[in-house]
């Protein structure tokens, strides 16, 4: 009787969603709820391991979720940031920072309430197409079927945290929950079954197939009979025996054109050649539906093999943050257990080819371009170690300008790619061979007059290598294949060449940083002196959320010269109003770390409400406002584009100036609840106040207004 009673126990749909979130390691939800989310608010009482964090605007919630996800991320850990938002207008308000999260590859799940199913379509004033809004930045899961809310929530969280073989792919997922689905009662046991993964293989396969179709941008496919392998063999034989594509194959494409990266295309083609014993090439144009069926066949097989080998991506004690942090810095020498044999063979072959090719190249003519997860410390250490053995020095390793996260300082030093297109293209074009590590091929931020180019890459395709996660695997699998190939070429290592160049590079960087940022010790505060002070005073293991823009131009080299290890986050999608919000999420993600929000004044006004959340939750954040009273980047753009003020009326300057009236950040911070907020306009005062701020922990947030 007790067992029967337990099986009849029910919980609300909202509680089921938070239980699923909890199973994925989520500890906080950044919320700006409304009427349709009230049952989610009440459900926090039932799921005590998740703490809701109130934000005063949705852009703060989405930016905080992004910052949370970036700090929580490890090479083997992926815990999503979560928001709770009100209907379509709330999601629209969050969209700017969701765009940044999308570009950063951050795992974010938005839980958005909708009108009750029976009320939808009657044209209430707040009704809108939430799915269309959500699609701008990522995937959508709508929970409309009664009693399916736990499975829908799991689909959203699994999709957001699944490893991607395409660098730059969005991991933002919006879970739309009609109002009535949030209060409906569902079986507690069925929710627990969903969390444990006790779903039928057919249901799981259908879910996986739907995910693939969303990712690869394919139209719906008709159901076909017979073995996939037999059908593929028959179609390929017919197609490859013909010199021209016969009817009905009138629409053609390549593997790359439907969403796969070049390396994934090569690997898939290799696996298919072995599977079907036919000469399948990644660059040949095949029938669109045929390419789609081939990819689905391989990915379905990989998913099944990966699941059978225990490679499913889920949060577990073995991959918890505590376990992960204890292993930071240790080289992972174990073999990849989650890869199928064909993929393992393909990635091993790639590793051998890559090592052989780079060792034949002149070391000074090979450049490295990092993106995505390559900047996480354990990954960056492996990258630097690999290229050191190949003779590639630190001054040839660049991170994308709008990077998501890079763990810098101490013994790790790389360069940042320039912002403006011509400078960036010239930098990358100086190398004969370019290696992209978990990065999309870079393109110009904007298309300027007389620019006439979009791609920043000038090397031919044969001279560009792309290192990324293999199908069904992780980025570290690619590293392991390269390291294995390198071990067999130990007698050809060129570490002495790299070390000699690294020593000279570090001497140059340190000398230049001292001359540029430490030369002035008193007088009016300058951007250079501010950057030098922050770099020298920031504590070890802090998190710097950097939206300093023009004022922080000397910060990168200063930290290379002076700073201990720290985590550096920056604006990835160009949508300003990021750092204050992301600092909230970073501070919530790890309360043991000091967080510095290095914030330009103009963009900080987009999400200044984040100051209130910092004060309310007593977050360990030091906000540095770079107050030059202008949108200075637009002044630079104005001059660079030679925009003329024909009538000498200074209208253009009026649209970039933030003076008249003056914005008082100190008063603003205190009105939001800051107990410590100070204005500094001299080098001496800034040094004293900032150093004091770095020594305080547990005293709540601090704001330092740097008047430049």
pLDDT at residue 321 is higher than 80: no
Instruction: List the beta bridge partners of residue 369.
Output: 398, 436
DSSP-assigned letters across all residues of 671-689: HTT-SEEEEE-BHHHHHHH
Q: What is the mean pLDDT of residues 20-47?
A: 97
Percent over 90 (pLDDT), the chain: 71
Q: Is the dihedral of CA 472, 456, 400, 502 positive or negative?
A: positive
pLDDT given at position 84:
98
pLDDT band for position 331 (cuts 50, 70, 90): very low
Mean pLDDT of 113-133: 96
Q: For residue 39, what are the CA distances in angstroms to 15, 91, 125, 390? A: 8, 18, 21, 57
Check pLDDT > 60 for residue 294. yes
Whether 393 and 502 have beta carbons less than 8 Å apart is answered as yes
pLDDT, position 230:
54
**Which of 54, 47, 69, 14 lies closest to 567 in space, CA to CA?**
69
Encoding tokens for residue 465? 């290598």
Average pLDDT, stretch 307-333? 33
Confidence category of residue 86, pLDDT binned at 50, 70, 90: very high
pLDDT over 70 percentage in the chain: 80
Residue that the structure tokens 């739907």 belong to: 210
Residue 542: closest CA among 513, 560, 569: 569
Q: Which pLDDT score, from 0 to 100, does residue 340 have?
A: 86
Calculate mean pLDDT across residues 77-105. Answer: 97
Token representation of residue 672: 């939001």
The answer on pLDDT for 259 being more than 80 is no
| Spatial separation of the C-alpha atoms in residues 506 and 533, rounded to whole Å | 19
- Range of lowest pLDDT (253-262, 284-293, 445-454): 253-262
- In this structure, the number of other CB atoms found within 10 A of the CB of residue 567 comes to 23
At 236 the pLDDT is 54
CB 154 within 8 A of CB 193: no
Domains, in order of start, for the chain: 2-200 (3.40.50.970), 228-258+260-308 (no CATH), 335-501 (3.40.50), 518-627+664-707 (3.40.50.970)
Determine the pLDDT at residue 304.
60
pLDDT at residue 270, rounded to an integer: 74
- Strand ranges (E), 468-581: 542-547, 566-570
State the pLDDT at residue 203: 47
Question: What six digits make up the tokens of 55?
Answer: 């934000």
Q: Which long-range contacts (CB under 8 A, 24 or more apart) does 641-647 make?
A: 641/448, 641/449
Closest CA to 255 of 209, 279, 287: 287
Strand partners of residue 705: 625, 679
Q: What is the pLDDT of residues 479-501, one digit of tens each?
A: 999 999 999 999 999 999 999 99
Cis peptide bond N-terminal to 309, omega within 30: no
Predicted TM-score (pTM) of this structure: 0.82
Report pLDDT digits (tens) over 375-427.
Answer: 999 999 999 999 999 999 999 999 999 999 999 998 889 999 999 999 999 99
Q: What residues are paired with 434 via a beta bridge? A: 367, 464
pLDDT in tens, 341-379: 888 999 999 999 999 999 999 989 999 999 999 999 999
- 4-21, pLDDT tens digit by residue? 555 579 999 999 999 999
What pLDDT is stored for residue 413 in this prediction? 93
Helical pair 228-241 and 262-276, crossing angle rounded to 10 deg:
100
Q: How far apart are CA 596 and CA 626, in angstroms?
A: 13
Residue 651, pLDDT score: 81
pLDDT at 125 over 60: yes
pLDDT in tens, 498-552: 999 999 999 999 999 999 999 999 999 999 999 999 999 999 999 999 999 999 9
Distance CA 107, CA 173 (A): 8
615: its two tokens: 């004060």
Torsion of Cα atoms, 405 then 78 then 564 then 498, to 10°: -70
Cβ neighbourhood burial of 176 (10 Å; 0-12, 13-18, 19+): buried
User: Would you state the pLDDT for residue 7?
Assistant: 53
What's the pLDDT score for residue 216?
Answer: 38
DSSP 442: P
Residue 676, strand partner residues = 702
Strand duo 464-467 + 415-416: pairing:
unpaired
137-141, 298-302, 431-435, 593-597: range with lowest mean pLDDT: 298-302
pLDDT digits (tens, 9 = 90+) for 227-256: 445 555 555 555 545 434 333 333 445 555
Band of pLDDT at residue 302, cut at 50, 70 and 90: low
């Amino acid at each position: 009787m007790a067992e029967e009673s337990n099986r009849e126990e029910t919980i609300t749909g909202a509680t089921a969603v938070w239980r699923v979130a909890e199973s994925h390691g989520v500890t906080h939800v950044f919320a700006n709820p409304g009427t349709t989310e009230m049952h989610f608010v009440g459900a926090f009482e039932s799921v005590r391991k998740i703490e809701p964090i109130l934000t005063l605007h949705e852009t703060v919630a989405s930016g905080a979720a992004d910052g949370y996800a970036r700090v929580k991320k490890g090479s083997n850990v992926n815990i999503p940031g979560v928001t709770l938002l009100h209907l379509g207008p709330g999601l629209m308000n969050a969209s700017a920072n969701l765009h940044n999260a999308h570009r950063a590859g951050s795992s974010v799940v938005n839980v958005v309430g909708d009108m009750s199913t029976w009320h939808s379509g009657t044209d209430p004033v707040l009704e809108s197409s939430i799915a269309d809004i959500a699609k701008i930045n990522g995937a959508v899961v709508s929970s409309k079927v009664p009693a399916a809310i736990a499975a829908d929530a799991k689909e959203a969280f699994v999709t957001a945290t699944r490893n991607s073989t395409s660098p730059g792919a969005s991991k933002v997922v919006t879970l739309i929950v009609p109002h009535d689905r949030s209060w409906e009662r569902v079986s507690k046991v069925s929710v627990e079954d969903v969390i444990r993964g006790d779903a039928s293989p057919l249901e799981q396969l259908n879910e996986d197939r739907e995910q693939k179709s969303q990712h690869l941008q394919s139209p719906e496919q008709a159901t076909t009979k017979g073995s996939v392998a037999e059908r593929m063999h028959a179609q390929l034989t017919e197609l490859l025996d013909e010199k021209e594509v016969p009817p009905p194959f009138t629409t053609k494409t390549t593997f790359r054109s439907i969403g796969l990266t070049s390396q994934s295309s090569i690997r898939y083609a290799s696996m298919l050649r072995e599977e079907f014993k036919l000469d399948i090439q990644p660059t040949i144009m095949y029938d669109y539906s045929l390419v789609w069926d081939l990819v689905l066949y391989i990915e379905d097989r990989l998913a099944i093999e990966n699941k059978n080998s225990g490679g499913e991506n889920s949060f577990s004690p073995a991959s918890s943050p505590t376990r992960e942090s204890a292993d930071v810095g240790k080289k992972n020498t174990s073999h990849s257990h989650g890869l199928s044999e064909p993929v393992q063979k393909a990635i091993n072959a790639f590793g051998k080819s890559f090592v052989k090719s780079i060792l034949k190249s002149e070391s000074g003519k090979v450049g490295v371009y990092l993106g995505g997860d390559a900047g996480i410390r354990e990954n960056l250490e492996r990258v630097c170690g690999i290229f050191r053995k190949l003779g590639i020095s630190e001054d040839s390793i660049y991170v994308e300008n709008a990077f998501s996260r890079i763990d810098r300082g101490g013994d790790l030093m790389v360069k940042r790619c320039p912002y403006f297109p011509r400078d960036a293209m010239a930098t990358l074009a100086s190398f004969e061979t370019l290696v992209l590590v978990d990065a999309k091929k870079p393109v110009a931020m904007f298309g300027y007059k007389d620019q006439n180019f979009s791609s920043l890459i000038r090397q031919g395709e044969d001279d560009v290598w792309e290192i990324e996660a293999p199908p069904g695997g992780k980025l570290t699998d690619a590293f392991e294949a390269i390291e294995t190939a390198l071990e067999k070429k130990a007698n050809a290592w060129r570490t002495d060449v790299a070390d000699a160049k690294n020593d000279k590079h570090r001497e140059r960087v340190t000398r230049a940083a001292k001359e540029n940022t430490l030369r002035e010790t008193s007088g009016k505060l300058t951007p250079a002196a501010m950057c030098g002070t922050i770099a020298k005073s920031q504590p070890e293991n802090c998190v710097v959320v950097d939206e300093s823009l023009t004022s922080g131009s000397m910060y990168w080299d200063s930290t290379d010269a002076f700073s201990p290890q720290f985590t550096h986050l920056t604006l990835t999608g160009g949508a300003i109003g990021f750092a204050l919000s992301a600092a909230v999420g970073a501070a919530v993600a790890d309360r043991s770390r000091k967080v510095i929000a290095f914030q330009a004044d103009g963009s900080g006004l987009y999400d200044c409400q984040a100051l209130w959340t910092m004060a309310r939750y007593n977050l360990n954040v030091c906000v540095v406002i770079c107050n030059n009273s202008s949108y200075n980047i637009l002044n630079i753009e104005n001059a660079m584009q030679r925009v003329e003020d024909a009538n000498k009326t200074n209208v253009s300057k009026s649209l970039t100036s933030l003076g008249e009236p003056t914005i008082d950040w100190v008063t603003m911070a205190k009105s939001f609840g800051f107990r410590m907020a100070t204005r500094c306009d001299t080098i001496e005062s800034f040094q004293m106040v900032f150093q004091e701020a770095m020594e305080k922990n547990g005293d709540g947030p601090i704001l330092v207004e740097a008047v430049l």
